[in-house]
Structure 1
Amino acid sequence: MPRFSHVLVLIVFFLHACSSSSQPVYARYANCPPTSYVCGDANFTIGYPFRVDSRHDYCGYPGLYLSCSTSNDTNSLALTISNNNFYVTSINYDNRLLYLVDTIFAGQSCPQPYVNTTIDAGLYRASDRCTNLTLFINCTAPSSPIPAIYDVLCLLNATGQHSYYRLDNGTMDNVLGRCSSTVVLPMAQDAATRMVNGELGFGAALQEGFSVNWLPGTGWCSNCVSSGGRCGYNSSAPRAHTCFCPNGTFIDSCYPTARSGTGKPSDRWKSIIGICAGAASFITGCLFITLWYHSHKKEVIDAKRVEAIIKKHGSLALRSYTYSDVKKITKSFREKLGQGGYGTVFKGKLLDGHLVAVKVLSESKGDGEDFINEVATIGQTSHVNVVTLRGFCVQGLKRALIYDFMPNGSLEKYIFSESTTATTTETTLSWEKLYEIATGIARGLEYLHRGCNARILHFDIKPHNILLDQDLCPKISDFGMAKLCPRKGSIVSMEGMRGTIGYIAPEVFSRAFGTISSKSDVYSYGMVLLEMFGGKREKSLRLDSASDTYFPNWIYQHIDQSESLMAYGVTNESEEIVRKMMIVGFWCIQTMPEDRPSMSRVVDMLKGSIQELSIPPKPCLSSPFDLIVGSCATSSVYIE
């Protein structure tokens, strides 16, 4: 409850503002008109939220600094976003559109190198005038052309490997074989259409750039300008933005009669009365907000912290949605797909008809740590075997994540059910299909550990978190427990135990087994491989905390090639790949982390011949319930 003295201070402050309302034109209003700025052959109008050297800091929003950059004796307007440098070709204030070209692509017919384009999600969002181009670099050429996949002829390398591109975020399965890298680049929709039609070359299309909408100044700035004010920034203001008017500073707009500091005395008194009335309303609002805050204090999360981390790790491919948008996408949460401790997942549809799964997180989930992890990690990924995060919502206590919809559900339904409930017409998956799924999961983990700009440890690999698209292509999902590790050889803090009982590596339970690292994900992956075979066993032999038969022990007894697996539903044609999966699985669950292979090595083992694989030593296999001793202490994670 606010003290009376605090209210009195507010009243005195606004009375002072009322008495001084007829003073000369306010200095900051005079300092912040739109500015003509010449750079090279172009003349730009610079207004809020942008600033240049000739404009004061408070006339623009932090991070939106434009400069005239010189390159090859040419001057161009430049902007730095998330450590990426862009040339600004045009600014459209009516639609809040900024047209950008990556400096790497300027003046090159076949520009490279390529890296994912990241845009600060706290300042920008992708405009509806651009699309995403996914570029697959140095791939094994497919045996026949693939629809909607285009060869980039200028990137053909000396070893005969091709590079390809596709538009938007469709799935690729494994039709291209292995590629050295995959990146996502934004592109103007018009340029993309002309490139596909052969009217524009690949490099020329990239040089046409793309557009983004800037977020600072949305809504309130137009109100400020229309009322005769000039938009500005004030870090001490309630919402950081402010409206500079001839007679002072206001929250959103100038008062209608306060457009000038000079006028008839009657006009000035009307202005004074209007300002004082506004002051009284503001004080009433402050009291109401203060009372509401104190009554809900325990429920308020640190939304600024969430937004700051999203801003730091944001990607251009992510869109920020309001809670109202989320309700429209899900038709007021009509169709529920699932529910857990994290929240509830609903089916939805975007305006373009694309089906999505919307995860609405529970409001009681602490300070939003799982939400932060998921956006900060998966927001930086782009891989055929990692689920695509399309956007997020953070509005007060409301938090939601929007993913591509996976019509065939999770892998768990296929390996633990005799009659799957998935939408596929198959009732069970063949061993060949399970092998393809296992290989896809391995490639996805390999990408997370080695292929991202910042390395990612998942910490919760299990069948439930492997989703299957319409073609049964696996997608790693649920990054709520993940750790983002930006540097090789870095150590990060990890409090408590991460993961699901039965899939957690021994070192996560106790440091006596070794250091927590990417090998902890390898262990979980190995358990998933063994589950694929274990799910075919009699139900009485499945993992049960009360059972004396721990299923990896049971499987290890059948790893010897001298025993046929036909009794467990394995045909002669499938026996080699099943036995290979079992051997690789046991290499992955070796007790000590240093004895396990990396995910890159796992992919090679799965693709290679079984004759090249040796049977691993039998790990120290115990039920996970026997490994939990005492409480989990804070430990460190070493990233190899």
Structure 2
Amino acid sequence: MGNPGAFHRSITLQSLTVFSLVAVLAADHVQGLDDGCTPFSCGHLQDIRPPFRRRGDPGECGVEAYELGCTSSKATIHINTGTYYVTAINYTGSYFWVVDPNFNTSSNCPLPQRNHLAYGYFGEIDSVSPPGLRYLVTQSYYRACFANCSRAVAKNSAYKPVACLSAKNSHVYVWVSYYGCMVEDLEPYCGCLANIPFGNEYSPDWLQLQNASYADIIQVISKGFTVQFPVDTTGPSASMKLRKNINLCLNNSISYFKEQSSGASIVNWTHAFFWSEVHFLECVTQYSNDHYYTTPFVLVVVTILSVIAVPKFFFVLCRFLLAPLAVWIFLAYKYWKTRIIIDAVEKFLRIQQMIGPTRYAYTDIVAISSHFRDKLGQGGYGTVYKGMLLPGGVHVAVKMLEGNSNCNGEDFISEVSTIGRIHHVNVVRLMGFCSEEMQRALVYEYMPNGSLDKYIFSTEKSFSWDKLNEIALGIARGINYLHQGCDMQILHFDIKPHNILLDNNFVPKVADFGLAKLYPRGDSFVPLSAMRGTVGYIAPEMISRSFGVISSKSDVYSFGMLLLEMAGGRRNADPNMGSSSQAYYPSWVYDQLTREEAGEISPVAADMHELEKKLCVVGLWCIQMRSRDRPTMSEVIEILEAGVDGLQMPSRPFFCDEGHIHVEDSYHFTSELTAVSEEELSVVSEENDV
């Protein structure tokens, strides 16, 4: 072992060095707000003092974050990516007025610049660069929100039309809101353009502006809004002495530590380790009656003492008490969790054995799979092997769940309990299972044609459009059976091409119920804990309840994404496409079909097969952002069974504006909900082809 005294000495020396820098930086910050610099003029503003400064001023004058740009008539300041006019500064109230340049021109139809937003929904300046601006806060509680809608809004709405910005298919509105442009306030066919604060804390209540006209709202906005800035209460001599004496006390403490730690006795080492900060406190106490030292001085001293003493205390506590205790608790927890999982699975399986599929011993699984000789694929939960049941010679697929996989006891119980009681032509059949301690396996009927993904993503067309429509109809019937055909409603939560298997006749079967959950039929509310699924197919309400409640409509969304991939013969999200407008297939195909519906010439839509269009339209209906706008699976079946005549296009299922936001912008926004990451693609490509 090394010398523990040397180790602890190194720890304390490092901490003292770090917090010496903290003290210097703190003193520098106070000195940076120094008001001893010469006042200056900028534009029409006179007698400007720190924290404001001009470019080229000495470093000790003002703060860089508050640097003003000056012309003959204007003073400007950068906030976030935008430039604003500074119209007045109130040092008594510690705030200044700013105006968006768009509202200080001769333009008769101004609009805030979207990429220059400098404020959040709750008033805080949304900026961390430069650092000083993160302390700026607007005093206004209210926002003027601009939105662009694809069709007109009802006249009795709070939306006020902006005729000068509107066009034939683009209707611009403005309204006054307390929270800003929120998703809940937008109509389904509207997108937020910008929102800007106005006035200060004494401005008229926003309810008074509800019935105001567009001209009245613009008049209020054009006056700008107020922004607070930090207040400096120290002078130049105080900040210099603060910095000098803190450095002096820190140097004395380091000398004291070196002197004590040079001794070999335990007493000297203890004094060095535990009394260094006490020595520092005694030093600064000598200056406690000095009138120069106010709140900044006390704050810096307390910060240094706390950050030196607290880590050393926790180091000793963790070294001799918490570390052994944490190891013991971790081992006990792992043992307890393992026993709980095993006991829960065993209790369930004793009941399941009387009503469900056959339970096999692990030795039987080894024999069925011929000692795991014929591997079919590798999945996220384990490895799949081909096997045979004797007598009879029935081929099966054996999924071995690995002990270190993500499949815990709850997922295993979920799969056995749901699929074990299902008998439907479009749902894969679970023929048996094995559970001996942590050795678990699932025995399925064998699907010789593998999963759907290897056919629809193939470079060569594998199926005719009639066959694709037939496969889509079979998948829909299987999902509808899970939703409506059982005593309990079964929500799959992971509908995707890889989980659709094909038998000898290419009849589709829904598979992989590891994420499925049972709920009472007709119950439209599902707990938030059910939020799960595969990125690219997961419904928006699984991420945020603002899109609706989690229900069977969540499976409808995933099915819609599956239909679009079947029709397009490619993954929905593919940034590597040659044309960036085609990177997100649902958005691209929606644009093509709506162009044709509007009477425009769309060569792509003209060349599409009528069944291809049908699958795309049904898929677009299924992926509506709000769950209430999607059809049920039984309604989807009726549409797929019917002809293509009379099938109408749904509203745009993306958060983007048709007139001003391009498809590639829609792709980037929607990627949070639907884009398949490279990591997810690698997992999907490796999963089994049962």
> Higher strand proportion, which one?
1
> Higher helix proportion, which one?
2
TM (normalized to structure 1)?
0.47
Structure with max Cα Rg: 2
TM (normalized to structure 2)?
0.44
